[in-house]
Structure 1
Amino acid sequence: MSRRRTHPRTLAQRALLYLLLAVVAVVPLFPLYWLVISAFKTPAEFVTIPPTWFPASPTFDQVNAALTQVPFAQSMMNSVIIAGGATISVLITSILAGYVFAKYQFRGKNLMFWGIVATMFLPPIVTLVPLYYLVNSMGLSDSYIGVLLPWLANAFGIFLMRQFIMDVPDELIEAARLDGASEFRIVWQFVVPLIKPAVVTLAVFMFVFSWNNFLWPLTILRTEAMYPVVLTLNRLMSYTMSFDYQNVVIAGALIASLPTLIVFLISQRVFVQGIASSGVKG
C-alpha cells in the first residue's frame, strides 16, 4: 500500500507554524539564557560592546564571589523554610476550606466565600501596615512565624480548590461516609487524588510566590541571619557601582532561581494539566 503524500502547501503551513512556535518559545527563554551566560563571563567580557553571545572564557569566579561575599547558603535555607512552610500551610487550608465551600451547605456560605475571593483584589501594599502592626503586637516580628503568618491561608488557593472539588461526585463522598470514613479521611484519601493537577498547580504557584516575596520579609525581619535569598541578593546590589561586581549579582540571581526552576521541571507535566483543566473550567 502506497503511503499518502503530504501536499506541499500543507508542509509549508506546518513549517511556518513550527517557526512561529520556535520564535514564541525563544522570546521568554532568552532572558534566562542571557542570565546563564552572563553569570559565567569575565568582568571585562561582561561590559564588551557589542555583547558576546557565548562566554569566551567561562569562569566560576562570579559564582564563588556570590557564595562568599554574603551568607548565601544560610539565606537559601531560610527561603526553603519560608517557602516550604507557606506552601504546605496553604495547601492544607485551601483543600479543607475548598472542600467545605464545595460540599457543605450552611447559612451565609456564598457571602463568606465571595468575601474571601474579594480579598484577592486588595493591593498588597494596602494590607502591609495593618499586617505589620498585628504581627508586631503578637511579638512575632523578626521570626519565621511572623514571616509565615500572613500566608498561612490564601484566597486564590481556596477559590481554586473549591472549583475543582465541586466536580468530585457527591455519590463518592456519600459512599465513603456510609462506609464509616471520617471527613478528614474522605478529603485526603478520596478527594485529593482526584484533584491532583490542581493541588500541584497551587503548590507551584505558592512556592514561587513565597520564594520571590521581597516586601513582607523586608518589613518584618531585622536579623540578617534570617534573611531569605531575595533579601540577601539585595545586599549584593551594593557592589554594582563597580563593573567588576555586576555579574556577581547576576550569578547570585542565577543561583537563587535554581530551586524554582527545579520545582517547575519536576512538576511540569501535572502543572500543565492543572492549568489546562482550570482553563477549560473558565
Structure 2
Amino acid sequence: MRNSSTGRVLRRVVTYGFVTLGALASIFPLYYMVVGSLQLHADSAFSGLIPRSGNIGLQNYRDVNKAISLLPSLGNSAIFTLGTVVLTIVIGLPAGYALARLRFPGKPAVAGMLILVLVLPFQVMMIPLYILVVRDYGLADNYIGMILPFAVNATAVLIFRQFFVSLPDELFDAAHIDGAGEVRTLLLVAAPLTKPAILTASVITFIGPWNEFLWPFLITKQHSMQPLAVSLGEYVSTNAATATNPYGVILAGACVLAVPVIALFLIAQRHFTSAALGSGVKE
C-alpha cells in the first residue's frame, strides 16, 4: 500500500515537473523579449538574462517611437484589426447559423468550401486579391482595402456553426411554435447565447490582422497608413542598424506589438468556456 502511494506521488512530481518545464520554455521567449527591450546596451551573454539596474531603461522605446511614431501606427493597426473583427462577427454569426440550422440546396458543398479555404494558404489567393482590390477597386492606401480580404473568416464561421449545433433543439422549436421566423429566432433566441463563441472568434480573428505584415505591406505605400507590424518591419530592414542598440529597439517594437494581444487574451480567456445551457430548457 505504501509503495503504491509513493509511486503515485512520484508520478505526480514527474508530471508537474514536465508541465513546469514546458511552461518555462514557452514563457522564456517573452521574458527574453522584455528584458532585451529594456537593456540600454545589448548583452548577449547568459548573464544578460538577469536584469542589471545600470543597464535597464526605456531608451529603446523612445528610439523606436521616434523612428516610426508608435501611436499613429498603433491607431492604423487598431482600425485594421477592429474593422476585421466586426465584419467577421457580423458575417460569420448568421453564416454559422445558416449552416447549423437551415436546410438549403448545396449546404454540404458550402461547408466543404469553408474547409478548403482553411487549407489553402493566403499566399495562393494574394495575387488575384491584389489585382481585384488595388487595380479594379482602387483601394490601395485605404483601410477598406486592408480589411476586405479578411472580412470573411472561415474559422469564425465554423466556430459559430459548431456553437449553434450544440444548442438544444427545444430552444429553436419553441421559437418557431411562437411564430418566429428564422431571422427573429437568430436575433432574439440564438444571438444572445453566443457570447462565448463571439469572444472566441474575436480573439482568434484579432491575432491574425494585428500581426499581419504581407497584405498591408503590399497595398500601403504611404507611411501614414501602415499598421505597426509593417512600420516595424520596414524600420528593421532600413534603419535599425543605425540605432545605438539595434536589437533592443527591435525587441521594444515587438513588445509594443505583443502587448494588446496578450492583454486581450488575459481579459477574455475566462469567457472561452460556454456556460451550461441545459437549464434554459424546460422538460
TM bracket (short chain): 0.7 to 0.9
Deviation at 1:47, TM superposition (A): 3.2
* Distance (Å, rounded) in 1 between the aligned partners of 2:125 and 2:132: 11
Greater Cα shift, 246-255 or 165-174: 165-174
State the match for 1:138 in structure 2. 137
1:201 aligned to 2:197?
A: no
- Count of residues in correspondence between the two structures: 266
User: TM-score, normalising length from structure 1?
Assistant: 0.87
Mark the CA change 1:134 to 1:66 in structure 2 (over 3 Å): closer, same or farther. same
State the match for 2:261 in structure 1. 260
Q: Give the letter for the 1:268 counterpart.
A: Q
Q: Give the letter for the 1:33 counterpart.
A: Y
* Distance (Å, rounded) in 1 between the aligned partners of 2:58 and 2:187: 46
Mark the CA change 1:229 to 1:20 in structure 2 (over 3 Å): closer, same or farther. same
Contact 2:60 2:245 in 1 (8 A): no
Deviation at 1:232, TM superposition (A): 1.1
| Of 91, 94, 97, the match for 2:92 | 94
Contact 2:92 2:156 in 1 (8 A): yes
Q: Give the letter for the 2:52 counterpart.
A: A
State the match for 2:178 in structure 1. 179
SS, match of residue 7 in structure 1: helix
Q: Give the letter for the 2:251 counterpart.
A: I
1:47 aligned to 2:40?
A: no
Deviation at 1:235, TM superposition (A): 2.9
State the match for 1:3 in structure 2. none
Mark the CA change 1:20 to 1:193 in structure 2 (over 3 Å): closer, same or farther. farther
* Distance (Å, rounded) in 1 between the aligned partners of 2:142 and 2:72: 15
Residues 76-113 of structure 1 deviation map (CA, whole Å, 9 limit, x = unaligned): 01111111110111112111001111111111211222
Deviation at 1:206, TM superposition (A): 0.4
Contact 2:140 2:219 in 1 (8 A): yes
Mark the CA change 1:21 to 1:188 in structure 2 (over 3 Å): closer, same or farther. farther
* Distance (Å, rounded) in 2 between the aligned partners of 1:255 and 1:262: 11
State the match for 2:64 in structure 1. 66
1:56 aligned to 2:56?
A: no
* Distance (Å, rounded) in 1 between the aligned partners of 2:121 and 2:215: 13
State the match for 1:161 in structure 2. 160
Residues 194-218 of structure 1 deviation map (CA, whole Å, 9 limit, x = unaligned): 4433322211110011101111101
* Distance (Å, rounded) in 1 between the aligned partners of 2:112 and 2:71: 42
State the match for 1:121 in structure 2. 119
Residues 119-177 of structure 1 deviation map (CA, whole Å, 9 limit, x = unaligned): 22222111111001111211222100000111111122222221221122232113123
State the match for 2:109 in structure 1. 111
* Distance (Å, rounded) in 2 between the aligned partners of 1:82 and 1:33: 28
1:27 aligned to 2:28?
A: no
Contact 1:70 1:235 in 2 (8 A): no
Residues 208-263 of structure 1 deviation map (CA, whole Å, 9 limit, x = unaligned): 11101111101111211010010111133133325622201111110111000111
State the match for 1:17 in structure 2. 15
Deviation at 1:48, TM superposition (A): 4.3
Taking only the aligned residue pairs, the percentage that are identical comes to 31
State the match for 2:271 in structure 1. 270
State the match for 1:280 in structure 2. none
* Distance (Å, rounded) in 1 between the aligned partners of 2:180 and 2:61: 53
